[in-house]
Structures are given as C-alpha cells and as structure tokens.
Structure 1
Amino acid sequence: MSEPKAHMPPAPPEGAAADWTVPQGWSAYTPAEHAMWDRLFERQSAMLPGRVTPAFLKGLDVLRLSKPGIPDFEELSERLTKATGWRVVAVPGLVPDEVFFRHLANRTFVAGNFIRTPEQIDYLQEPDVFHDVFGHVPLLADPVFADYMQAYGEGGLRSLGFGALHKLARLYWYTVEFGLVREGGDLRLYGAGIVSSYGESVFALDDPSPNRIGFDLKRVMRTPYRIDDYQQTYFVIDSFEDLLRQTLETDFAPLYAELETASDLDLATIQPGDTVLHRGSQAYAQSRKVRA
C-alpha cells in the first residue's frame, strides 16, 4: 500500500470481478518468468537467516509448493487457509483503498500476478508477485501477525470516514512494509519491502545512515515516507503481540482529530521523546541529494 492513488479508475478494469480480482493465470507464466522467481527466491532465502525474524523463516514453508517457480495461488491459499484462515488472490495492479482494506478485513491478501524483468531485479516501483508473495505471505502464516493484518484492514475501512487515510497509510508503511522488530536483544527484519529487497535487507540493519527508533503509534502517523529509495528512519516494534495490542486498544477517532492539527515531522530527524536505538548519520540520503 502507498499514498492514495490519484489516477485509480472508478470501476474494475475489463476482465476483473467486482472485487477487482482476476484469475492468476499460472499456466501462462513463461519459463523465464518462473526462473526469475527461483533466482529471487534463492537469493533472498539464502541471505535472510540471522537477519529476519524467525517467524518469517518458519512461514517460508507455505511457499515451498509442489509446482516449480511462481506459486500457484490456489495451492498456496489451501496451505495458508489451514494455517491462519488467509488466502491469496490475484489483482491486475494497484486497487482502490476501500477494496484493499475490505480484502484485508476478510483475510484475503491481494497480489499482483506479474513478475519483474531481469532489468528490474533490484528495484521496481509497483509491487510484483515476488514482493507481494515472498515479502508478505510468510508472515500471514503467523497467527498474531495475521490478526494484525486483519485488524489493519478493519481500521482502514473506518479511517475512510475520517479523511485520515494518508495518516493510516504511514502505519502500514512503517510496519508491514518496512518494520523492524527487537528479538533477543537484536534487531530483525520483518517488513515485506525490506525482506523482498536484497539491498535494503542489508541497509536496514547494517548501514550507519538510517535512524532506528522505537515504535510509537502517533510518531509513526506523523512521519512521511519515501517510495523511491531506502528509508531514512526505521521504527522498531517490541513484538507482534504488542503491535496488535496497540492497534486493537487505540481509539483512532480522537487520534485522527489530534493529527489534523499536528504538523508532519521530518522523516530523517530525531524528535524529543524518541527511543533512539541508533542515531543515523544520514550519509546515504545526503549523498543521494548531492548526486541528484
């Protein structure tokens, strides 16, 4: 999920159902497309042990299916439904926010059915099947995280009545997509945008440039983000249980009202009251500005 989409068509495109889903078309994938999945899967699954939360590695088993290459969503959904009641469906691309939230609230994860080209192996802006499935689905096999994703979908539907979507999108971005978790005294990756990216899997934990600060709900919702580069600040949760508890116990209506008059915070600056786990040098971001 990213910022609200300015050019989203008002109705499902031709060939899509009313809920914007389409057939995955697994039999239409080419050998080259399956080979790209296998290449990405091997590269990421080899480098993530010791860096990613063990819950993700455990969840990877749901992706080891009987067919080669890109997972067949029907077989994948059978395994995932047995684990946590979730299933995976194909969509033609980005979907309207209400559609996205409604699917999450009903334990349905929407995934693009195309895969990146060799020229896009390290970066593409619109999420493909590798990002959506490899990045997100393993943690949907974790009962607590699965509950958090459903709770987020339900909260997203409610947020539409408060005009606060862009604030809530930041919660998704800094947890589901780019979150870190503290486990056994160490930081571990769990956000799908990190674990599906070779470069950011290293940058998020090892590089001295970004800030790494303790998760605070209001702080997160006041912090913008970048969709076109590595993050300048990562937020660190204590556990999936705590993230779910805060989501369920927070009354978001008064929080949205408070945030209406609160200014956005600079996405790279440490704020008073932050729990600073690592104060970043911001050298990477500064070097990118110089190049630009």
Structure 2
Amino acid sequence: MDSDRPRAIDHLVLPIESLQTSRERLEALGFTVARQADHPFGTSNACVFLADGTYLEPLVIRDASLVGESVRGGNVFTGRDARFRGGRLEGLSAIVVSSTDAAADHERFLRAGISAGDMLGFSRQALTAEGAPVTASFQLTFADLGSDLFFLFSCQRINPLPADRSVLERHENGVVALREVLLHGAAPDDLVKRIETVTHAAGFSEADETAFTLANARIRLVAGAETASGADRAVKAAAVVFHVADLTVTELLLADNHLPYVRTPHRITVAPAPGQGVSFVFEE
C-alpha cells in the first residue's frame, strides 16, 4: 500500500487532434518521440519519455466508434477525454500520479467523495528495446476536481512497459526532467483538499497561488484575472515547466528550427501550437 508521503507524477495527458502533427511539433521542439501505441478502447498515443521517469502522453482518438462504445460503457478515461475535447480542442487534461495500490486509491477517493467513477484496468501490446512483443497492464483510479477541463488520476503498473528507454529519454533540447505543472483556477478549500487527497502533498498557499510539492515535481495553482473575478472557476492547465541541462542549447535549437519563443534570464517560454496544447517552459 502507498504511504502518506507525497506521490510522484507519473505522466501528463495531452489531448491532441493529430499524432503526426504532434510528432512534428514535439520533434521541432527538440524532443525524441516514441512510436505510436494503441489502447484497446480506441485512443492512441506517441509519448515523450524523460530521464526522471515521467512522460508526456499526446493522446488522439484513433477509432471514434470504439471510443464512443467505451464512453457509453462507463470508461472514465475516454469519458473525461470526450468532456475535455467538447470544451477545448487541445491542451493538458490530466496529471497522473504513480500508485502501488490503485484499489486502495479508489476506496480512499470514494470515502473522500471525490471519485470520478469506476476503476479502469486494461492491457496493451508493447515492444522491448530488441523489438520483442510484451503485454503491459495498468490499473487507473480517477478523481474529480469539478472541472471538465482538468482532472487527476492514479496509475498502477501491473505489468510495466519495457524498462530500457535510454534512447527515448535523450532529447536534443536538453530536457532532463519535469519541474512543474502550472494550473489556472480559483483555489477554494475543497479543491485544495481534493488535490491533497490524490497527491499526498500538502498545499501551501501564498498570495494568489497554492503550491503542491510532489516527490519529483511541483503543481502550482494560480488564480488568473478571470478566476479571481469569479467569471471562470474551472481548473485548467496552462503550462508545463521542464528542467534542462543548458538553456543555451535549448535556445539554439529553437532558433535553428525557426520556432518563436520568449527568453528571460532564467527561462524560455514557447507558446501553445497545434500538437503541443499548452505553453512549454524551459528552465535550468
């Protein structure tokens, strides 16, 4: 069973319209992108694996009929993806935390009144570094944050993906780790408690933001002008912050690929574009 220590971020889910567009965009940004992988319920991904063990999951609808069937059958993963796509074409829809006991997570979410629905167990085919087929299996448990544009869930790897991803974890832009996920939205006590329940990380509030320090990265919830006024209280993801080994290397790559960016002394920000979804921030 998982301890009460802060959880680690496992991966980020980024709904996009085209895997090809996403691959081209992410490769232009200097990321190494894995081959396409298909889920049994009609979605597919082409992931970006980082050296710290986290990864980005660009997610596309491969088979609309399979997805629709799974939504009608109560699949929370595809159901929440459909709700997100109904309000926003692309973006970052979920933070996923690592779990060693998804069933215990589900029971805890039920007791706390934050469960988003039934657990989801599934398997899919993958390949080892040598090209041999293996079956990877997962158990997912979902939490509701009261927003169609963002939610949290935990992932237990019953039969993990092949461990040797060293080639995929090397990126021309110098990215070595996930540092932070920036969310926009008001931070009432109930929302903070929900995030704390999922992440096991206590929220620290100061001025107009609340920060949650997880085992390997931080979640920062900031009230923007629209949320401060109460016009839009929905939580939504705004940016992913990466740690890079050398910011100059990152800047040279972006310049060579003719990608617009904003440079300040300690960071580079790249605005969202098709296949990317949210702002990407690079920091040493």
Give the TM-score category using the shorter length: under 0.3
TM-score normalised to the size of structure 2?
0.27
Q: Which has the higher contact order (CA 8 A, sep 6+)?
A: 2
